Amino acid sequence: AQSVTQLDSHVSVSEGTPVLLRCNYSSSYSPSLFWYVQHPNKGLQLLLKYTSAATLVKGINGFEAEFKKSETSFHLTKPSAHMSDAAEYFCVVSDLGNDMRFGAGTRLTVKP
Amino acid sequence: EPEVTQTPSHQVTQMGQEVILRCVPISNHLYFYWYRQILGQKVEFLVSFYNNEISEKSEIFDDQFSVERPDGSNFTLKIRSTKLEDSAMYFCASRAPDFGSYNEQFFGPGTRLTVL
């Protein structure tokens, strides 16, 4: 069965500095991988997805992630954090188009 | 832009009561899902539904839960006899048919269920 591990429960950065949110996955197949963001009291919004095409995936709001099969990782990055990026971020894996398995989430805090 | 909608946004109920959470998936989607998120915890898969039947369910989805697509637009989650531990945010999601590549699930805004 597929699973993800988000290595940091909380990341704090200063505005304008780079963001790195780490995710490792486990899958028996060629997985599809996603990053979703959840702002307070809001639903889940898709940031980006990897579905066996290009390993470097660009998403919305300047985020990108790189699929590294040898490291079973799918880390989320952004060159320069903005105050509006403060939210909960979920790494998600899906095998064969079935249910999605969520990581525990990483809360991103952006300091002015 | 099409979106998944859920009603109500917040439901308060007494323990032991039945609740029905409603979802309207995106119109051309064929795969439907329910997830829940207990406060402060991660999002957990409950059930997936395709072609008018459950395709997969988690260990959380016991006999107290059921899903239904009563018409061509709604997708419902019923909890027969709510327990305190059912208090959570419930998310509905839908997904388009796959044509060569996997399509992501689109999530609704959630229904917050509070069981007293």
Q: Per residue, what are the HEC states of A29-50?
A: CCCEEEEEEECCCCCEEEEEEE
Inspect the interface and report whether the beta carbons of A102 and B105 lie closer than 8 Å.
no
- B115: closest CA of chain A, how far (Å): 19
pLDDT of A97 reads 59
Q: What percent of chain A has pLDDT over 90?
A: 68
Q: Please measure the distance between the N-terminal and C-terminal CA atoms of chain A and give it in whole angstroms.
A: 41
> Which tokens is A10 given?
């909380």
State which residue of chain B sits closest to A39, comparing Cα positions. B109
Q: Which residues of A touch B44 (CB under 8 A)?
A: 102
> Amino acid letter at B93?
A
Confidence check: pLDDT of B2 > 90: no
What are the pLDDT digits (tens) for A65-105? Answer: 999 999 999 999 999 999 999 999 999 998 765 678 899 99
- Average pLDDT of the segment spanning B39-49: 90
Residues of B in contact with A51 (CB under 8 A): 101-102
Report yes or no: A74 and A3 within 8 Å, Cβ to Cβ. no
Chain A closest CA to B56's CA: distance in Å? Answer: 8
| Residue of A46, A51, A105 lying closest to B102 (CB–CB) | A51
pLDDT at B21: 97
Q: Are strands B31-37 and B43-50 parallel, antiparallel or unpaired?
A: antiparallel
Residue closest to A6 by CA, chosen among A20, A19, A23: A23
Among the partner-chain residues A42, A53, A99, the one whose CB lies closest to the CB of B33 is A99
